[in-house]
Amino acid sequence: MDWIGPGIWQGDALEAASLLPLDSIDLAYLDPPFGTGRTRSGPLGRYPDGWQGAMAHASWLVRCCVGLWPALREGGTLWLHLDARTVHHARVLLDDQLAGGTCRNEVVWCYNGGGLPKRDFPRKHDVLLRYVKGKDWTFHPARQPYKANTQAVGRHSSRARRVAIDLGRGTPHTDWWTDIPTVTGWAPERLGYPTQKPLQLLERLIAATSNPGDRVVDLFMGSGTTLEAAARLGRCYLGVDASAAACDLAARRLRPWQAAAWPVALEGVGTGQAGGTAEVGAQVTSRRRSGVTKLSTKAATSKRPIGKSV
């Protein structure tokens, strides 16, 4: 089966993963529900986020990653975006279950805003697990300017002149990101969908771990931040969400980046050509509306309705 994007699918994350062809994508970003125990809502959407325990939540996350893994090509990257509730459980399980996968980074994204607890230190960071497939993966270091005092010392340092340090090129970002703010209520990019992630965050990780023309998939796309970042950087995108509101919002958001109608090919399902967990004989139907393809499959995957994030 040929590549299915660029497009937007409304459906279950596990089912969508089962429909992707083997070795067909270059980068996957998953920002699932964090297991907060409550429904997350905003002016333009909501999604359920109730789970019975961190291990149950982590086990479901691992099923999503393992279901998507066959579709990721050798050298591809999978990002899993979580917070302190589940990330440690998920890391242990994924290290054991992702065949040929290696966790290369735990990127910590620090931010401000939100509530301040009275009996704990404020929890103001997320963790992004970066897994690569195989031994020859794509990576382009993201760089930032040197601090002013470093530049001043460097311009007059004999060592800097001796080793030809390029001050204008900047220094690579570490795995501790403190320069990207959250999408606040007054941010120009805010759309009103809950837990929307900043475009700058997605642009950084997509630019660092993929190439122009690569294929990017987000199984919990929410308002479509990953898709817009991919389009801006010249990548092909496919977004999935169980929420009709999220899909319609993302479709409106992506209209300026829609080069053509969404070409969807599902004939490989049930013939052994699709990757993931779709069983032989799986039935797939699709219905298009305003740039969204609604999927309904009968496959050996979870039916839990999940809609989330960026």
pLDDT tens digit string along 85-99? 889 999 999 999 998
- Over the chain, what is the mean pLDDT? 79
Tokens describing residue 35: 């297991």
Strands 176-177 and 7-10: unpaired
Neighbour count for residue 310 (Cβ, 10 Å): 29
Neighbour count for residue 119 (Cβ, 10 Å): 4
Neighbour count for residue 239 (Cβ, 10 Å): 33
With CA atoms as reference, report the closest residue to 105 among 47, 175, 154, 22: 175
Q: What is the pLDDT of residues 261-282, one digit of tens each?
A: 334 454 444 333 333 333 323 3
Task: Tell which CATH classification among 3.40.50.2000, 3.40.50.150, 3.40.47.40, 3.20.20.140 matches the domain 7-137+183-298.
Answer: 3.40.50.150
Reply yes or no on whether the pLDDT at 23 is more than 80. Answer: yes
Rounded Cα distance between 27 and 300, Å, is: 24
Tokens describing residue 269: 């399902």
Tell me which amino acid residue 127 is.
V
Residues of the chain with CATH 3.40.50.150: 7-137+183-298
Per-residue pLDDT at 272? 33
Whether the model pTM is above 0.85: no
Classify the C-alpha dihedral 162-163-167-171 as positive or negative. negative
Tokens describing residue 64: 């999503």
